[in-house]
């Protein structure tokens, strides 16, 4: 409605939620290079920016707020029978997963794995109602018979049975990106087998029960082997295993345990394969641990590059010796590049700009800008330090993240989100227009989780 770009940015910044305008904040630094403070440059610009989180269905959450504000025009628009379900709008057959209809069935994960950005930054977990998912799927059925369910925790959806039944009834071939090991249901396995899938992806993350407690993944090696066995017994004999090296408190014994776990899974696959007259593959996908903002491990340094390279090389060499195992490894260099852009402050933006002048050569960009990579990636941060990303208030209470970080040091587990009907433990719900987690999102703790976190 007229006005300059600067005027529009100022207006958006003053909303207080959902819009962060870096140019409207002055950053001052301590003598050691850490951030001293963010100071707004204009009147009405908030000291920190809140995020906006919708309820079960973002359309429904917007409707409730519009009614409360008295925005009649918005209310009428949102009351239309339009179906909401975040989904594919462009088909790109040459791209990965580009030949299928992709629909997001939920956002966020209740488990609280301490390394996981999506888990903590998308709290509280929210779901798209089955009715909307199935309506959208019916709309696209004439264009494809393949559908991918997008979610960090597919089987956590309280209506997953209804969704699977409806999609199978439409003749869809169903696929998922990866599955939580403790939430693999027979009904989903049936749907994947029916769709012709020969491979499934799961994430043990590491090979030792101790280190899995450090990261708050409450599964034992015995349980992982048993669950993979159930997959193999359905005829899906190829399993991709997402695993990490360089996690906090990791030792060489943990690396050895990873090799032993993969060998056990391979043996269980061959046992099932004999009944089908064929063998599959175990595919460990190894990545270096990269600390992420707004997680309990945000204060941790990344494993030193030479040491991370040693660990990945040792794992790759010893895993490759196991028959029917195909190892895939991300380099330690790439992990450190990711850590720089994940944990760096606004000064790192100069590196990205310089890379455009040096044909994406990071080394040349670092030499030009003089940025100290180790300062941003390889030092432990104190609880007193102002972190670069804290200008955006995720709603997650800092004391909660500090407590989770402390619990990780002694390998103590924490119950999933939410562990009670009206939970204020982490602080997200009261600070993001959700005074209590929506009833439809309450997840009852499984018996295994209850025992593991007791």
The residue-averaged pLDDT of 336-341 equals 96
Q: Measured between alpha carbons, how far is 179 from 55 in angstroms, rounded to an integer?
A: 24
User: Which pLDDT score is estimated for 143?
Assistant: 84
Structural contact between residues 443 and 156, judged by C-beta atoms closer than 8 angstroms:
yes
Range name among 157-166, 184-193, 252-261, 336-345 with the lowest pLDDT average: 184-193
What are the φ and ψ backbone dihedral angles of 350, each rounded to 5 degrees?
-65, -30
Question: Is residue 444 over pLDDT 70?
Answer: no
Q: Measured between alpha carbons, how far is 218 from 405 in angstroms, rounded to an integer?
A: 16
The tens digit of pLDDT for each residue in 378-401 reads 999 999 999 999 999 887 889 999
User: Which pLDDT score is estimated for 111?
Assistant: 85
The tens digit of pLDDT for each residue in 24-61 reads 999 999 999 999 999 999 999 999 888 776 554 555 55
Task: Tokens for 94, please give them.
Answer: 């040459």
Question: Is residue 420 over pLDDT 60?
Answer: no
The tens digit of pLDDT for each residue in 274-316 reads 999 999 999 999 999 999 999 999 999 999 999 999 999 999 9
Calculate the CA dihedral of residues 202, 205, 207, 212 and round it to 10 degrees: -120
Task: Tokens for 127, please give them.
Answer: 């779901």
Q: Which residue has the higher pLDDT, 194 or 363?
A: 363
Question: Is residue 417 over pLDDT 80?
Answer: no
In the numeric block, the tokens 């708050």 are attached to 216
Rg value, the chain, Cα: 24
Q: Residues for the chain: how many in total?
A: 454
Range name among 7-11, 93-97, 239-243, 372-376 with the lowest pLDDT average: 93-97
Can you give the residue ranges of every domain in the chain? Answer: 5-44
Question: Is residue 70 over pLDDT 50?
Answer: yes
Question: Is residue 453 over pLDDT 80?
Answer: no
The tens digit of pLDDT for each residue in 311-333 reads 999 999 999 999 999 999 999 99
Question: Is residue 377 over pLDDT 90?
Answer: yes
The tens digit of pLDDT for each residue in 178-193 reads 777 666 677 777 777 8
Question: Is residue 152 over pLDDT 80?
Answer: yes
Structural contact between residues 53 and 432, judged by C-beta atoms closer than 8 angstroms:
yes
Question: Is residue 428 over pLDDT 80?
Answer: no
Q: Measured between alpha carbons, how far is 349 from 356 in angstroms, rounded to an integer?
A: 11
Cis peptide before 124 (omega within 30 of 0): yes
Q: Which residue has the higher pLDDT, 446 or 173?
A: 173
Structural contact between residues 117 and 294, judged by C-beta atoms closer than 8 angstroms:
yes
Specify which of 103-117, 119-133, 358-372, 424-438 reaches the highest per-range mean pLDDT.
358-372
The tens digit of pLDDT for each residue in 240-255 reads 999 999 999 999 999 9
* Nearest C-alpha neighbor of 104 from the set 138, 129, 80, 141: 129
Q: What mean pLDDT value characterizes the chain?
A: 84
pLDDT tier, 446 (very low <50, low <70, confident <90, very high otherwise): very low
Question: Is residue 427 over pLDDT 80?
Answer: no
Q: What is the 3-state secondary structure (H, E, C) of the chain?
A: CCCCHHHHHHHHHCCCECCCCHHHEEEEECCCCCEEEEEECCCCCCCCEECCCCCCCHHHHHHHHHHHHCCHHHHHHHCCCCCCCCECCCCCCCCCCCCCEEEECEECCCCCCCCCHHHHHCCCCEECCHHHHHHHHHHHCCCCCEEEEECCCHHHCCCHHHHHHHHHHCCCEEEECCECHHHCCHHHHHHHHHCCCCEEEEEEECCCHHHHHHCCCCCCHHHHHHHHHHHHCCCCCEEEEEEEECCCCCCHHHHHHHHHHHHHHHHHHHHHHHHHCCCCCEEEEEEECCCCCCCCCCCCCCCCHHHHHHHHHHHHHHHHCCCCECCEECCHHHHHHHHHHHHCCHHHHHHHHHHHHCCCCHHHHHHHHCCCHHHHHCCCCCCCCECHHHHEECCCCHHHHHHHHHHHHCCCCCCCCCCCCCCCCCCHHHHCCCCCCCHHHCCCCCHHHHHHCC
Cis peptide before 334 (omega within 30 of 0): no
Question: Is residue 68 over pLDDT 70?
Answer: no
Burial class, 26, CB count within 10 angstroms (exposed 0-12 / middle 13-18 / buried 19+): exposed
Range name among 265-269, 386-390, 426-430 with the lowest pLDDT average: 426-430
In the numeric block, the tokens 């019916």 are attached to 138
* Nearest C-alpha neighbor of 341 from the set 331, 355, 357, 358: 355
Structural contact between residues 147 and 103, judged by C-beta atoms closer than 8 angstroms:
yes
Q: What percent of the chain has pLDDT over 70?
A: 82
* Nearest C-alpha neighbor of 392 from the set 26, 48, 123, 118: 48
């Amino acid at each position: 409605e007229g006005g300059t770009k600067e005027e529009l940015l100022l207006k958006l910044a003053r909303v207080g939620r959902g819009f962060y305008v870096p140019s409207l904040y002055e950053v001052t630094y301590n003598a050691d290079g850490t951030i001293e403070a963010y100071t707004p440059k204009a009147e009405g610009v908030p000291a920190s920016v809140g995020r906006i989180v919708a309820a079960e269905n973002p359309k429904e959450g917007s409707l409730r707020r519009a009614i409360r504000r008295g925005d009649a025009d918005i209310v009428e628009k949102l009351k239309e029978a339009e179906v909401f379900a975040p989904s594919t709008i462009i088909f790109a057959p040459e791209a990965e997963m580009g030949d299928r209809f992709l629909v997001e069935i939920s956002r966020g994960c209740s488990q609280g794995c301490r390394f996981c950005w999506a888990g903590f930054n998308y709290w509280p977990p929210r779901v798209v109602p089955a009715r909307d998912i199935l309506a959208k799927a019916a709309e696209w059925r004439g264009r494809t018979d393949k559908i991918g369910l997008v979610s960090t925790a597919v089987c956590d959806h309280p209506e997953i049975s209804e969704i699977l039944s409806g999609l199978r009834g439409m003749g869809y071939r169903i696929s998922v990106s990866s599955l939580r090991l403790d939430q693999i249901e027979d009904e989903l396995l049936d749907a994947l087998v029916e769709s012709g899938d020969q491979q499934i992806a799961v994430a043990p993350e590491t090979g030792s029960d101790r280190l899995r407690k450090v990261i708050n993944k409450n599964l034992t090696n015995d349980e992982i082997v048993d669950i993979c066995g159930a997959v193999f017994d359905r005829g899906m004999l190829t399993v991709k295993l997402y695993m990490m090296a360089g996690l906090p408190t990791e030792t060489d014994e943990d690396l050895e345990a990873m090799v032993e776990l993969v060998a056990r899974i391979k043996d269980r696959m061959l046992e099932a394969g004999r009944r089908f007259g064929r063998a599959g593959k175990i595919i460990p996908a190894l990545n270096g641990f990269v600390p992420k903002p707004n997680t309990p491990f945000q204060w941790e340094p990344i494993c030193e590059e030479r040491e991370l390279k040693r660990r990945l090389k040792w794992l790759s060499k010893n895993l490759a010796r196991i028959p029917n195992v195909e190892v895939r490894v991300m380099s330690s260099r790439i992990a450190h590049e990711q850590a720089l852009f994940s944990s760096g402050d606004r000064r790192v933006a100069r590196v990205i700009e310089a890379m455009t002048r040096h044909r994406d050569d990071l080394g040349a960009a670092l030499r030009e800008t003089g940025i100290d990579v180790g300062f941003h990636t390889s030092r432990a941060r104190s609880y007193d330090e102002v972190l670069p990303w804290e200008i955006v208030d995720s709603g997650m209470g800092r004391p909660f993240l500090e407590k989770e970080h402390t619990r990780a040091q002694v390998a103590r587990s924490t119950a999933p989100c939410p562990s009670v009907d009206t939970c204020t433990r982490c602080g997200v719900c009261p600070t993001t227009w959700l005074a209590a987690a929506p009833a439809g999102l309450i997840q009852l703790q499984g018996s295994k989780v209850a025992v593991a976190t007791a």
